[in-house]
Amino acid sequence: MTTDTPPPSTAGWRGTFAGFALGLSLFAVLWFAAAAIGTKLGLWRWEFGLGVMTIQWGPMLLMAAAGVSVLAVIIALIKAPRKQAFIIALAALLISGLAFGRLAGFGGHAARLPPLHDIQTDWADPIQPSDALLTAREATGALNPILDDPIIPEGANSRWEGMGGRRVAEVQAEAEFDPARHKSPRETPYPLIAPLIAPGVTADQAYGAALAAIEARGWTLILAEPEEGRIEATETSFWFGFHDDILIRVREEDGAARIDVRSVSRVGLSDLGVNAKRIRGLLDEIETRLAKGLTG
């Protein structure tokens, strides 16, 4: 005797729907990777890859995937539950839910940070870019100029109320960790950004340690002038291929070596705290190298 009714172990059409939900969730995750990789490969401009595909369309796609996944879970449980369909639907919901949670966390992190993309250790004496660096920036269509005293654009007020028109130097100082005002670095968006003063270290030794740190990180060296104590390099992000420029200045000051660093993004209003983190990490590495006598 035959029957058209699928046996209890078969997922049936509900399994097909659950499979669709899983496929949609995986597609939504891959969408973000495609947006980043396509931007890096030059298939489309960063404004489209980041602004449209990632920020504008990405959340809607994840919400759709999560909604379909919830529906698949409900369908798998009503009337005659199917274990296979439920497991597939639950996997789809976990994937889309985790991705959406990560995206929401990213948005919250971005909102907590000030709209800065140019950070340095000493705004009273800003590090100037060389002609070589300016040429390299121009070749990639850099939109952010390197200025002595930059001002946050008025358009930032649409997302960061009250920030538009303010001096970058002042906003950076407010966002930094200050041991005199804060108990823990976790209280502030940025770590302490200050020159590295190395007593008893010559400028040549400090320069060698800085250059070695740059080379160890695999950044692209733009300029190295030991006589002037100047180093310029560029770091390219893995996903979108964004270029950030690092400018280093080494001087002797009162029997010590002083190292200043400036890190600036070529495009974008906010750097999501990357430049401040890069400067702090680089200075810490240079200090470690000097302590160990690794000066080149």
What is the CATH T-level fold of the domain 118-291, as seen in this structure? Alpha-D-Glucose-1,6-Bisphosphate; Chain A, domain 4 (3.30.530)
d(CA 54, CA 60): 10
pLDDT tens, position by position, 28-84: 999 999 999 999 999 999 999 999 999 999 999 999 999 999 999 999 888 777 788
Q: How far apart are the first and last CA of the chain?
A: 84
pLDDT at 1: 45
* Nearest C-alpha neighbor of 78 from the set 134, 18, 159, 119: 18
pTM for this predicted structure:
0.85
Report the alpha-carbon angle 193-195-197, nearest 5: 135
Q: How many CB atoms lie within 10 A of CB 47?
A: 12
pLDDT at 296: 66
Is 242:266 a contact under the CB 8 Å cutoff?
Answer: yes
Q: How long, in residues, is the chain?
A: 296
Q: What are phi and psi of 191, to 5 degrees?
A: -75, 180
Residue type, 227: E
- Give the mean pLDDT of the chain: 91
- Regions of the chain with pLDDT less than 50: 1-3, 6, 9
Residue type, 118: D
Q: Where are the domains of the chain?
A: 12-112, 118-291
